[in-house]
C-alpha cells in the first residue's frame, strides 16, 4: 500500500505479470528519443541485408516468482534500425520459432515520429517474422548478401535466445563469414548461446558494453522490476572472458573487431551511428 501511495509499486497486468511503476516509467522512459536523423551516404553494394533476431517471449520470472512484463525495448530496437536504414541497409526480422515479435510497449516513445514511422514500416514483419531454422536452412549459403546480425535489447533478449542452439549457430556463421554482430543493453545475452554444448565462448577477450547487473539489482527499489533478476548477465559475460567497458547504464558504445555493443537505452542513438558508420567504412 505504501509503495502504491509513493508510485513505486509495479503495475499488475491482465495476464498476472508486472510492468514498471509510475515513478520508474518517469525515470527510465521517454516519449521522444535523442535520435539524430543523419543523411549517410547510401550503401550501394550487395551486402545490404541485416538479420535482426528479436524475442518472441513476454514474461520473465524473477527470483521471487513474480513475472516481469518485458520483450524487446522499442528504443533499443528501432533507433539503431533507423540509422542503419538511413545508411542503405534493410532488415530481415526473425524470432526463434517464427512467433510475433514482442515489444515493451510501456517504453514506446509515443511522440517520436521517426520511431513511429519505422515501427509502422516493419509492423507486418514484426507480426509475421521469419523462423530462425528457416533462415539457417535457406540463407546460410547467401552470406555475401548480409552485412550484420542485430540483436536488440530489452530484458526479453534474455528469454530463450541465450539457450537457442540456432542463435549460437547464426552467431558462429556471422563470425566465420566476417559479418558484424550488433547488440546492446541485455541483447548481449545472445552471445551466451555460443557456449552451448561446451563450446568455448566465441567472444572471449572482446571488449563490450552491457547493461550492468549492479543497476538491475537497484531497480526493484523504484518498481521497475517486480523482483531481482533470475541471473546476472554482465557478470556471467565477464566470467567467460568478456572485458566490460561500462559500469553504469549510460551511453557507452564499443567496437571490437566485428562486435558492436551498447550499454543501455541511452546508447541506442550512439550505437546506431557507430554501426552505420562502421558498416559503411568497412563495406566499401
Domain range summary for the chain, segments of one domain joined by +: 54-282
Residues making up the chain, counted from first to last: 284
| Structure confidence at residue 5 (pLDDT) | 58
Q: Which residue of the set 115, 184, 185, 267 is catalytic?
A: 185
Q: Does residue 185 carry a catalytic annotation? A: yes
Radius of gyration of the CA atoms of the chain, in A: 18
Of 239, 224, 229, nearest to 191 by C-alpha is 239
Tell the residue number behind the cell numbers 559479418, with chain if given.
179
Output the CA–CA distances (angstroms, integers) from residue 156 to 74, 77, 113, 162, in the order listed.
11, 12, 25, 11
| Structure confidence at residue 2 (pLDDT) | 61
Exposure letters 212-247 (e unless 16+ CB within 10 A, then b): bbebbeebbebbbbbbbbeebbbebbeebebebebe
Q: Does domain 54-282 have CATH number 2.60.40.420?
A: no
Output the CA–CA distances (angstroms, integers) from residue 16 to 95, 173, 227, 247, in the order listed.
24, 39, 14, 33
User: CA–CA separation, 277 vs 96, rounded Å?
Assistant: 29
| Structure confidence at residue 8 (pLDDT) | 85
Strands 180-184 vs 59-61: parallel, antiparallel or unpaired = unpaired
With beta carbons less than 8 A apart as the criterion, state whether 253 and 262 touch.
yes
User: CA–CA separation, 27 vs 184, rounded Å?
Assistant: 20
User: CA–CA separation, 243 vs 91, rounded Å?
Assistant: 29
Other CB atoms within a 10 A radius of the CB of residue 261 amount to: 32
The overall pTM is greater than 0.95? yes
| Structure confidence at residue 7 (pLDDT) | 74
Tens-level pLDDT at each residue, the chain (284 residues): 666 656 789 999 999 999 999 999 999 999 999 999 999 999 999 999 999 999 999 999 999 999 999 999 999 999 999 999 999 999 999 999 999 999 999 999 999 999 999 999 999 999 999 999 999 999 999 999 999 999 999 999 999 999 999 999 999 999 999 999 999 999 999 999 999 999 999 999 999 999 999 999 999 999 999 999 999 999 999 999 999 999 999 999 999 999 999 999 999 999 999 999 999 999 98
User: CA–CA separation, 207 vs 224, rounded Å?
Assistant: 28
| Structure confidence at residue 20 (pLDDT) | 97
User: CA–CA separation, 25 vs 11, rounded Å?
Assistant: 11
User: CA–CA separation, 130 vs 126, rounded Å?
Assistant: 9
| Structure confidence at residue 284 (pLDDT) | 81
Other CB atoms within a 10 A radius of the CB of residue 88 amount to: 18
User: CA–CA separation, 268 vs 262, rounded Å?
Assistant: 7
Amino acid at each position: 500500500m505504501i509503495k502504491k501511495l509513493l508510485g513505486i509499486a509495479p503495475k499488475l497486468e491482465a495476464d498476472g505479470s508486472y510492468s514498471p511503476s509510475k515513478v520508474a516509467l518517469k525515470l527510465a522512459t521517454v516519449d521522444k528519443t535523442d535520435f539524430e536523423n543523419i543523411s549517410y551516404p547510401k550503401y550501394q553494394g550487395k551486402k545490404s541485408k541485416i538479420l535482426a533476431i528479436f524475442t518472441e517471449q513476454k514474461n520473465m520470472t524473477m527470483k521471487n516468482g513474480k513475472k516481469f512484463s518485458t520483450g524487446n525495448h522499442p528504443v533499443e530496437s528501432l533507433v539503431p534500425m533507423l540509422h542503419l536504414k538511413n545508411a542503405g541497409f534493410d532488415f530481415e526480422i526473425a524470432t526463434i520459432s517464427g512467433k510475433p515479435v514482442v515489444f515493451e510497449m510501456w517504453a514506446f516513445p509515443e511522440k517520436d515520429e521517426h520511431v513511429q514511422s519505422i515501427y509502422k514500416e516493419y509492423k507486418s514483419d514484426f507480426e509475421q517474422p521469419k523462423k530462425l531454422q528457416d533462415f539457417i536452412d535457406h540463407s546460410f549459403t547467401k552470406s555475401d548478401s548480409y552485412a550484420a546480425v542485430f540483436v536488440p535489447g530489452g530484458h526479453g533478449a534474455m528469454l530463450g535466445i541465450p539457450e537457442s542452439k540456432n542463435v549460437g549457430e547464426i552467431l558462429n556463421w556471422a563470425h566465420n563469414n566476417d559479418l558484424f554482430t550488433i547488440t546492446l543493453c541485455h541483447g548481449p545475452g545472445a552471445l551466451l548461446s555460443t557456449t552451448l554444448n561446451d563450446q568455448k565462448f566465441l567472444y572471449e577477450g572482446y571488449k563490450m558494453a552491457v547493461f550492468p547487473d549492479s543497476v538491475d539489482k537497484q531497480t526493484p527499489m523504484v518498481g521497475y522490476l517486480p523482483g531481482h533478476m533470475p541471473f546476472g548477465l554482465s557478470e556471467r559475460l565477464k566470467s567467460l572472458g568478456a572485458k566490460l567497458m561500462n559500469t553504469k547504464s549510460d551511453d557507452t558504445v564499443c567496437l571490437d573487431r566485428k562486435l558492436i555493443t551498447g550499454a543501455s537505452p541511452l546508447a541506442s542513438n550512439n550505437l546506431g551511428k557507430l554501426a552505420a558508420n562502421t558498416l559503411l567504412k568497412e563495406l566499401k
